[in-house]
Amino acid sequence: MEKLRIGMREGSKFGTERTRRLLNALGSPDKKLKIIHVAGSNGKGSVCAMLTSILVAAGKRTGTFTSPFVFDPRGQFCIDSSPADMLALKAAAAEVSCAAEDLPDSPSEFEKDVATALALFAGEGCEYCVLECGLGGLYDATNAIRKKKLAIITSVSLEHTDVLGADIMDICRHKGGIINGCPALVPSNLPKEAEEYFVSLGATVVGAPQNITLSEEGTAFTFGGSAYFTPLFGEEQAYNATLSISAARMLGLGQKEVSAGLARTSLNGRVQTVKRGGTTYILDGSHNPAAFAPLLQRLAFESGQKTLVYTCLSDKHVKECAAILAPAFAEIILTPAPSIRAMDINMVEEAFLPYKNVRSCADIPSALAQATYKTVVVCGSFTPLKEALDWIEQRQ
């Protein structure tokens, strides 16, 4: 039997044509789903998790595709907020692989993942699909879908500039590519030029949250005269939540379901706190300068000095990341990312050279074992988080 290959990136192909041909060969499963398409530089995973939780609270069978996976490859393919059944997932993946063999231009692994998700969700009787863009939007494989209920753009900042372009408006053009024959929502904290651009495409700007209060338990805020709480941490999560609330209202969902769904939302690898052996570990997949704010806000609730275990991939702005993160830590341990896309450790070391108490380790387990302080943060990429969690959970 062919090995199941899901959640894997072996090179990237951009453009929607291969994915569209693959979906056509599968009988266009995307046309059987009410799809909410989510793009953004940061916050995509959070909005997908919140909106899924709200839909599930409303009794709507919902498939959710996100990338990359954090701890379990099945976590990319969720039904009603839980990883898909392995047998059903294998069957959908096998169907996709068979269809792909007959195509003249072989789809990438990610393109097959997208098709697998849509075939799985349609086959399992999902009414809704929450679909996260992989990269950008306009030429992302997820944008091959022909039928959308709603598009959401969560944020815009400089990222993947070698592919998406070197200024904010370049990024906007890619993100805005998902606004295609459907209503769209954007948050109120975008750069002015980005907001004006998306409004010109027909997007609606969602109002700002009010009275944001952070605690170790999560984020409370008010919006539209009602009070809400989400266990997801950070001021940005309040903005993500307003997008999810507004989307739910557009879909005709009630206040009770919205509040309950937000309160039940969970998300691996985003300011995720694990306590073991008297040490607080915070796992955070944030990997660009604009994404570190919730992590730094969370550190304010931890006393004493702190250790950073940092790793990153080759396409990241590591000097800017270092400048934001380093002042918050008394100790910094650098390690190569467990990925073929890892940044050369010498480049990472050069970025952190101006800062004190910086050293390198061969891998994540040795870095964690050498951490000095009682608050330890692992961040810079999603790729080391499973290895970090496995090591932490083995501690007595």
Per-residue confidence at 168, pLDDT binned at 50, 70, 90?
confident
| 55-59, 159-163, 329-333, range with the lowest pLDDT | 159-163
Residues 254-267 pLDDT 10s: 999 999 999 999 99
For the chain, the domains span: 17-263, 272-393
- Res 6: pLDDT: 40
Query: Using CA atoms, how far apart are residues 237 and 48, in angstroms rounded to an integer?
Result: 12
Asked, colleague to colleague, whether 17-263 and 272-393 share their fold, the answer is no
Pick the CATH number of 272-393 from 3.40.50.720, 3.90.190.20, 2.60.40.790, 1.20.1740.10: 3.90.190.20
Per-residue confidence at 160, pLDDT binned at 50, 70, 90?
low
C-alpha distances in angstroms, 303 versus 300, 330, 374? Answer: 7, 12, 9
| 50 CB-near residues (< 8 Å, 6+ apart) | 230, 232, 240, 241, 244, 261, 262, 265
Per-residue confidence at 2, pLDDT binned at 50, 70, 90?
very low
Average pLDDT for the chain: 92
Q: Specify the DSSP class assigned to residue 215.
A: E
- Res 308: pLDDT: 98
pLDDT at 5 > cutoff 70: no
> Across 4-8, 13-17, 134-138, 280-284, which has the greatest mean pLDDT?
280-284
Q: Return the SS3 of 375.
A: strand
Please give the CATH number for the structural domain made up of 17-263: 3.40.1190.10
pLDDT at 1 > cutoff 50: no
**Opening angle at CA 29, ends 28 and 30, nearest 5:** 90
Residue 277 backbone dihedrals phi, psi, to 5 degrees: 55, 35
| 3 CB-near residues (< 8 Å, 6+ apart) | none
Query: Using CA atoms, how far apart are residues 257 and 206, in angstroms rounded to an integer?
Result: 19
Per-residue confidence at 162, pLDDT binned at 50, 70, 90?
low
Q: Which residue has 């090995």 as its token pair? A: 3
Q: What is the pTM of this model?
A: 0.91
Read off the pLDDT of each residue in 328-348 and give the average, rounded to a whole number.
Answer: 94
Number of residues that this document lists for the chain:
396
pLDDT at 165 > cutoff 70: no
Spatial strand order in the sheet of 331-334: 272-276, 279-284, 375-379, 306-310, 331-334, 358-360
Burial class (CB in 10 A: 0-12, 13-18, 19+), 241: buried
Query: Using CA atoms, how far apart are residues 55 and 69, in angstroms rounded to an integer?
Result: 21
